[in-house]
Amino acid sequence: MSDRSLLILPGDGIGPEVMDEVQRVIAWFGDKRGLGFAVSEDLVGGAAYDAHGTPLTDATMARAQEVDAVLLGAVGGPKYDALDFSVKPERGLLRLRKEMDLFANLRPAQCFDALADFSSLKREVVAGLDIMIVRELTSGVYFGEPRGVFEEGGQRVGLNTQRYTEAEIARVARAAFELARRRGNRVCSMEKANVMESGVLWREVVTEVHAADYADVELSHMYADAGAMQLTRWPKQFDVIVTDNLFGDLLSDLAAMLTGSLGMLPSASLGAPMANGRPKALYEPVHGSAPDIAGQGKANPCACILSFAMALRYSFDAGEEATRLEQAVERVLAKGIRTGDLLNVEGATPATTREMGDAVIAELEASL
Ligand code: NAD
Ligand code: IPM
Ligand code: MN
C-alpha cells in the first residue's frame, strides 16, 4: 500500500476530460518512477448533486480530510445555474476549501517561451514571466457574515460582508514571504486601503509580519486596481503577489491571460501541516468547467496536469519529478502540439485532449 494517498474529484464539464489525462500521468509516475499513489475517485459539484442532491456529501468531505492531497477538475455549468445557492456546484468546492482550511491559494503565472507570442500582450511584456499570486482562500467577502438577499424599504437588497481577522491576514502573509524566499525574494501586497477598513488592517498586519520575521524580503504595497493595471503594463516587475480572496480571484484570471490561456494555469490550495508533516492540500486548474467546449475533446489538459506537478512538489516532496513533468509539458508546446485554445499559431499541430495527454507521456518517456 502506497503511503501517498490522492482523492480525485473530476467534477463537471471538461473536469472529467482533463482528469482522464492526469490519471494517465499519475499511473506513469507509478510505473516508471516508483512513485505509487493510492488513488480513489469521487463526485463533486453538479455530478454529486445529480447523484446525491448535494454538491459534496459528508462522506466525500471526510475522505478529503484524510488523504494527502485532493485533485479537483472543475465544477459548475448552465444545467445548475437555476439551483438554490446552497446546492450549487460551486458550493461543493467552497466547502472543501473552508472545511480543510486551505487558506493559501498559490496561483503561478509562468509564460512558457513557446507561448510568448500567444498572449494578447506583446512578446517582450510576457516572455520569461514567472510570478506567483498568493490568494487568501477561506475568508473575506466570499465567507463573511451577514450575507443574503432580503427586503428592506420595499425593495430587495443583496448583502455580502468583507471581513478579515489579523490572524487570517498574518498566516497568508507568512505563506507569501516563505515562498518569496525560495524565489525572487520580493512580495507585493495588494488591497484597497484607500477605501476599505479591511484593506487598512491588511496593510498594517502584512507590514508587522514583515518587520517581525521577514525583513530580508523586499515588501511593497499597491492598491489592487493599480495592481491590475501594473500586471498588464509590466508584469515582470512582480515576484510574489499576496492579496485577498476576491481580488485574488480577479487578478489570477488576469494573470492567466498573460501566459496565453486559462487552459495553462494550475493552482495549489494549502492549509496547515497534518500529523505526517504534509500540508492539507487541494490542487486544481484555475479554469472552470468550460461548458462551451465540454464533451468535444477540445479541452487543454495542461492546467490540470501542471496542478498534479504542484502536488508532486508541495505534497510529496518530489520537486525533481515535478520539474520533469513541467518540462515535458513545455517540450510538447515547443513542438507546436496544441489544443484549440492555443492553436492560432503558424505551423502548429492541432491536438485533442487525449492527443495532448499522449504527447506529454511521450515526452516523459523521452526524459528517462
Ligand atoms: P471557464 O474557465 O469555464 O471558461 C472560460 C473560457 O475559457 C471558455 O471560453 C472556455 O472554453 C475556456 N477554457 C477554460 N478552460 C479551458 C481549457 N482547459 N481548455 C480550453 N479552453 C478553456 O469559466 P466560465 O465560463 O466563467 O465558467 C463556467 C462554469 O465553471 C461556471 O459554472 C463557473 O462557476 C465554473 N467555474 C468553476 C471553477 C472551478 O471549478 N474551480 C473555476 C471557474 C469557473
Ligand atoms: C476559482 C473560481 C471559484 C472562485 C468559484 C468556482 C467558486 O472562480 O477557483 O477561481 O470564485 O473562487
Ligand atoms: Mn476564479
Q: State the distance from the centre of ligand 2 to the C-alpha of 142, rounded, in angstroms.
A: 10
Average pLDDT across the chain, whole number: 95
Q: What ligand has the least distance to the C-alpha of 287?
A: 1
Q: Are 230 and 120 in contact (CB under 8 A)?
A: no
Which is it for strands 240-243 and 186-191: parallel, antiparallel or unpaired? parallel
The residue whose CA is least distant from atom 9 of ligand 2 is 286
Segment 292-330, tens digit of pLDDT: 999 999 999 999 999 999 999 999 999 999 999 999 999
> Alpha-carbon distance 61 to 119, whole Å?
38
User: Ligand 2 pocket: which of 14, 72, 75, 93 to mutate (most atoms <8 Å of CB)?
Assistant: 93
- Cell numbers for 61: 468531505
Active-site amino acid positions = 142, 192, 225, 249, 253
Of 221, 224, 205, 223, nearest to 213 (Cα)? 205
Question: What separation in angstroms does the CA of 250 have from each of 230, 245, 348?
Answer: 14, 9, 30
Neighbours of 155 (CB within 10 A): 6
Segment 222-230 mean pLDDT: 98
**Where residue 36 falls among pLDDT bands split at 50, 70, 90?**
very high
290 is in an annotated binding site: yes
CA–centroid distance, residue 329 to ligand 1 (Å): 21
Q: If you measure from the C-alpha of residue 13 to the centroid of ligand 1, how many angstroms do you get, rounded to a whole number?
A: 9
Query: Can 1-106+264-368 and 130-258 be said to share one CATH topology?
Result: yes
Q: Residue 119's pLDDT is what?
A: 84
**Ligand 2 atom with the shortest distance to the CA of 249:** 10
Q: Is the pLDDT of residue 131 over 60?
A: yes
> Which cell is 89 given?
456546484
Smallest CA separation from ligand 1 atom 25, residue: 290
Topology of the domain comprising 1-106+264-368: Isopropylmalate Dehydrogenase (3.40.718)
Specify the pLDDT at position 117: 85
- Ligand 2 pocket, 69 CB below 6 A? no
Going from N- to C-terminal start, the domains of the chain cover 1-106+264-368, 130-258
Give per-residue pLDDT as tens, 94-128.
999 999 999 999 999 999 888 888 888 999 999 99
Q: How far is the CA of 256 from the centre of ligand 1 (A)?
A: 12
- Least distant ligand from the CA of 288: 1
**Ligand-binding site membership of 337 (annotated):** no
- Is the previous residue joined to 108 through a cis bond, with omega within 30 degrees of 0? no
DSSP category for residue 46: H
In the three-class reduction of DSSP (H, G, I as helix; E, B as strand; rest coil), residue 336 is classed as coil
pTM, 2 dp: 0.95
Q: Could you tell me if the CB of 284 is within 6 A of ligand 1?
A: yes
Q: Cα(75) to centroid of ligand 1, in Å?
A: 9
Complex ipTM more than 0.90, yes or no: yes
290 lines ligand 1 (CB under 6 A): yes
Distances (CA, A) of 97 to 120, 163, 202, 239, 269: 32, 17, 21, 25, 8
Contacts of 274 (CB under 8 A, 6+ apart): 68, 280
Determine if ligand 1 sits within 6 Å of the CB of residue 235.
Answer: no
Determine if ligand 1 sits within 6 Å of the CB of residue 45: no
* Tens digits of residue pLDDT in 162-221: 999 999 999 999 999 999 999 999 999 999 999 999 999 999 999 999 999 999 999 999
Please give the Cα distance from 20 to 7 (Å, whole number).
Answer: 14
> Which residues are bridge partners to 282 per DSSP?
70, 269
Q: Residue 140's closest CA among 110, 175, 98, 177?
A: 98
Closest listed ligand to the CA of 75? 1
Closest residue CA from atom 3 of ligand 2: 90
Annotated binding residue 295 = yes
Nearest CA to ligand 1 atom 23: 288
- For residues 197 and 86, give the distance between their C-alpha atoms in angstroms, rounded to a whole number: 29
Please give the single-letter amino acid code of residue 275.
A
Q: Which ligand has an atom closest to residue 246 CA?
A: 2
Is 10 annotated to bind a ligand? Reply is no
| Any ligand 2 atom below 6 A from CB of 90 | yes
* Residues comprising the chain, all counted: 368
Neighbours of 35 (CB within 10 A): 16
Largest CA distance in the chain: 69
CATH of domain 130-258: 3.40.718.10
Return the ligand 1 atom nearest residue 18 CA. Answer: 18
